[in-house]
Structure formats: structure tokens, C-alpha cells
Amino acid sequence: MEETELRSVVRQMRQTAVTISLLSGQEKDHILHTLAGLLDRRKSDITEANGKDMERAVSGGMSEAMTDRLLLTEKRIHDMAVSVEKLTELPDPSGRILAEWTQPNGIHIIRKSVPFGVIAMIYESRPNVTVDAAALCLKSGNACVLRGGKEAHCTNRILTDIIQQALEQCGLSKNTVVSILDPDRELVHRLLEMRGDIDLVIPRGGAGLIRFVVDHSRIPVIETGTGVCHTYIDCSADLDKAVPIAVNAKTQRPSVCNAMETLLVHEKTAQAFLGKLFPILRARGVELRGDEKVRRLDPGTKAAAEKDWETEYNDMILSVKIVSSLDEAVRHIARYGTHHSECIVAEDPGAVKEFMDRVDAAAVYANASTRFTDGFEFGFGAEIGISTQKLHVRGPMGLDALTTYKYEIFGRVRSADGIL
């Protein structure tokens, strides 16, 4: 795709964005019902395309954890369809009256939610993002430019074809959702310069991708940061709770951003807890890297280096540190965390409150796995990403995150100078 063609397509999307912004909630839900049905009916087409991407990924030496991000099984495709259907059960986020009041001068003011317009989504190997992003944008009344990773080229092509098929079956332009499938990275540079044509950019992927987008975009960006997520096991923890929480946080799906990367354990409970936990993690294939205190308790643990504390592994690797207090745990998180998801396992209400109050993260947990940081689990339907910044949204980004607002002002009296 040439730069002139890209700019032409994006400018056409300004018109399609107006069209979809004016649709009723019922009309937008009809598009989503149609899309969900097509995803289920075309499972074999999707798995065939995904198989080509998987074959190329495996032959290219992609890690098992990363190929898991790429893989679309029939169950995962069905889950995508269910997620799209779930969005139809949620209220339309656009056109809601957020506030309303009348001033002493007689003007009546309404603050109302409205779509952004055209949203660009730049992401890496997880092809389910193609459907999640498109569905969320359509439900919230936005047009959407998608740029997925080359690892999922074939899968993204078929998914985009299905999305556009749903749009055309519902009488809308297929250019309401467009995928840039050309692998030329220069096109991403050009996309990020289209201020005035694109209203918002959302990157989703590793630290390198996110930093590239933040550094080069002339368009406002919602930063979906990396997840160096911690679980702290307090001296008051119930170990029968703590073990399954830690096992889930690390092993349930290690390749995603809400998986635990560092385990912090209070020294008073370290021996008993690690004695229960380590055999389970090793049996599941987790490589353990610990500080000196951990290695004294368990000599088979590899020595952790400084870089381990700041690494998002996205793999079956866990760094483990023994701390002397809750305060030391909080200070470690403040130094190495990425403001994503952090957890305390404790029975002491005072410890829980202190952790909740002091830890600066989008999602802070007590006695629950960080894996719950997810739009579906939060009841948002699908999510477009997990924001680790503080403006304008934070945490799992569902429908509301894809709207802004405007003021509608109605004059009721004429002032002395003739201005309404």
C-alpha cells in the first residue's frame, strides 16, 4: 500500500465515521449479532488461515508462550463470538447525558458522550485483538484502522474479511473497519502522522511497540503499558489461598500482560509457602529465579539478576524475592512495577488497606489473581486494552473508554446585547 492510498482510505473513513456515529444502539447491535454469527459459521476458514501463521511461527523459532498468543482454536473463536454477543447486552455508550444543568443566565447545558471518530489500533501477534477492537469501536460508534503484526498476517486478513462482510450485510461501507496488512513499517510512521484524519491511537503489545508509538505519534495516544505484575504473600496470608492464587497468576496463561512476573514473600512465611508452591510450579514447567534468601531455602533456584525484577517475561519464568516487611514489598513494586496489576494475599485487614492505599497501579488486588484484570472479567464485554496511564482512562478499557464528550447549550432568553 502506497502512502497516498493509505491517506485516501483514512480520509474516506472520516465519512464512514459520521455514518456509524449516527446509528441507533439497536442498529449497532445488529452489526455485532451479524459479526458473531459469521465468526461461528466461518470457524474452518479462520483455523485454516491461522494454521498458516502458526506453521510459519513455529518454523521461525517463536517461543511456546508467544505461539499461544497467536493460536486460534475453535473454542477461542467461539469465545470471540460470545464476547461480541455480550457487547450487545451492554448499554450504548454514545449519546448518554453525563450531566445537565441550567445557569442563572438562562442557558441550559448538557454534557453528552460522543464517539472519538476514527481510532487506529496498532498491535502485535494476538489476532483476537482484531475482532475485539473492531467490535468495541463499532458498538461505541467509531470507525477503526487496524494494524496487526506480521506474525498473524493470514489470520488478520480473514478476520477483517469477516468483519467487512458483516458491515456490508448490514448496509454499511466495508471501509468502516480497515486493516493495513502491508508489512512495510514505514506505513506505521505515516499513520502516526495523520493528525486531523485519525483521532486516537491505541498501541497494544510489548514495551518496544508501545514506546515506538508513544515516541513517534502526532496523534493522542492511550498507552497500554507492559505488565510487570507482582503478587505479595504477607505474613498473615492463608497459604491454602495463597498457593492457588500464585499458581493461577503465573501459569494459567503466562504470555499475557496480567500474568504474574515477580513473587514477593514475607520472610516469616517464606519457608512454608515456597515449600508448598515451588514443587507445583516446577511440575508445570516454570523456571524459578530467586534472590539470595530464596536460594538459601531452595538451592535449585537460579540466581536472579537485577534485570529480572524489571522484566515482563511473557513466559514460564518467575522471579522470586523474600522481603522483610510489607513496606519493603511496596517499595519494590514502586521501583520495578509498571502500574498495571498488583496483588496482596493477606488475612490482616490493616495490611490489605495499607497495600491498597500505597500501591500505584491500574488494578490492585487482595486475595485474587492478577489474571482478573480483563475487560470481560470486569463486566465490560471485550476490551481494547489495559491502560497503565492516568489520562483519560485507566485499567481495562471497555466501551466508555472509546467515547469523549461534548457540550450542547440551549439558549432560553436573549441578553441585552442580543447574544443568546
Q: Do the Cβ atoms of 391 and 220 come closer than 8 Å?
A: no
Query: Secondary structure of the chain in the HEC alphabet?
Result: CCHHHHHHHHHHHHHHHHHHHCCCHHHHHHHHHHHHHHHHHCHHHHHHHHHHHHHHHHHCCCCHHHHHHHCCCHHHHHHHHHHHHHHCCCCCCCCCEEEEEECCCCCEEEEEEEECCEEEEEECCCCHHHHHHHHHHHHCCCEEEEECCHHHHHHHHHHHHHHHHHHHHCCCCHHHEEECCCCCCHHHHHHHCCECCECEEEEECCHHHHHHHHHHCCCCECCCCCCCEEEEECCCCCHHHHHHHHHHHHHCCCCCCCCEEEEEEECCCHHHHHHHHHHHHHHCCCEEEECHHHHHHCCCCEECCHHHHHCCCCCCEEEEEEECCHHHHHHHHHHHCCCCEEEEECCCHHHHHHHHHHCCCCEEEECCCHHHCCCCCCCCCCCCCEECCCCCCCEECCCHHHEEEEEEEECCCCCCCCCC
| Global confidence as pTM | 0.86
Residue 383 domain flag = no
Residue 309 domain flag = yes
Is 415's pLDDT higher than 70? Answer: no
Are 185 and 133 within one domain?
A: yes
Q: How far is CA 324 from CA 189, 235, 242, 267, 329, in A?
A: 48, 10, 18, 6, 8
- In this structure, of 44-48, 120-124, 304-308, the range with the lowest mean pLDDT score is 120-124
Are 148 and 13 within one domain?
A: yes
- Once rounded to an integer, what is the mean pLDDT over residues 357-369? 98
Q: How confident is the model at residue 355 (pLDDT cuts 50, 70, 90)?
A: very high
162 Cβ contact list (under 8 Å, min separation 6): 35, 38, 39, 42, 45, 46
Are 212 and 291 within one domain?
A: no
Are 189 and 151 within one domain?
A: yes
Is 310's pLDDT higher than 80? Answer: yes
Are 24 and 128 within one domain?
A: yes
Residue 380 domain flag = no
Mean pLDDT score of the chain: 94
Are 18 and 167 within one domain?
A: yes
Q: How far is CA 388 from CA 10, 109, 177, 180, in A?
A: 28, 33, 26, 26
Residue 384 domain flag = no
Are 115 and 204 within one domain?
A: yes
Give the structural domain span for 330.
Answer: 229-372
Q: How confident is the model at residue 417 (pLDDT cuts 50, 70, 90)?
A: low
Are 264 and 136 within one domain?
A: no
179 Cβ contact list (under 8 Å, min separation 6): 130, 145, 146, 147, 148, 156, 157, 160
Residue 419 domain flag = no
Are 236 and 218 within one domain?
A: no
Residue 106 domain flag = yes
Residue 69 sits in a domain whose CATH number is 3.40.605.10
Q: How confident is the model at residue 207 (pLDDT cuts 50, 70, 90)?
A: confident
Query: pLDDT tens, 246-276?
Result: 999 999 999 889 999 999 999 999 999 999 9
Rounded Cα gap, residues 75 and 40, in angstroms: 10
Which percentage of the chain shows pLDDT scores above 70?
98
Query: pLDDT tens, 92-133?
Result: 999 999 999 999 989 999 999 999 999 999 998 789 999 999
Q: How confident is the model at residue 419 (pLDDT cuts 50, 70, 90)?
A: very low
Residue 156 domain flag = yes
Number of domains composing the chain: 2
Are 244 and 137 within one domain?
A: no
Residue 391 domain flag = no
Which percentage of the chain shows pLDDT scores above 90?
83
Are 192 and 321 within one domain?
A: no
Q: How confident is the model at residue 383 (pLDDT cuts 50, 70, 90)?
A: confident
Copy the grid coordinates of residue 116.
472519538
Q: How confident is the model at residue 206 (pLDDT cuts 50, 70, 90)?
A: confident
Query: pLDDT tens, 321-330?
Result: 999 999 999 9
Are 254 and 110 within one domain?
A: no
Length of the chain: 420
Rounded Cα gap, residues 343 and 128, in angstroms: 27
Residue 349 sits in a domain whose CATH number is 3.40.309.10
